[in-house]
Amino acid sequence: QVQLVESGGGLVQAGGSLRLSCAASGRTFDNYAMAWFRQAPGKEREFVAALSWSGARKDYADSVKGRFTISRDNAKNTVDLQMNSLKPEDTAVYYCARNSNSGLGPRAHLVSEYDYWGQGTQVTVSS
């Protein structure tokens, strides 16, 4: 099975930026769509952003649209999430996940569509 490891989390003030990275090991994730989810204490895991294998299509949650950018480098087996204009409500553990499909369909925002998950990286935004 594929192994996903997130990094780049930390503490940042509101309005600041962070860049998260997800690295795959064991094997590549060629031909798989990828996504970022997040989960705050007492809340369900929620969709943040996803992209197709080619990177041509990207989907974002309304709450992060215009502030976050998802990208991938298939040659390096990495998926990044650039987070700008961070808000306290962005505070959560962020998870990288692999979709079983190469493209993005109407169910790409659902947790159930992802088979492999990283351990998560904590992002804390202070005011």
pLDDT of the residue at 73: 87
* pLDDT tens for each residue of 75-94: 888 999 999 999 999 999 99
| Mean pLDDT of all residues in 63-70 | 98
* Residue 29 pLDDT greater than 70, yes or no: no
Query: Quick one: pLDDT band at residue 30, thresholds 50, 70, 90?
Result: low
* CA–CA dist 24, 47 (Å, integer): 20
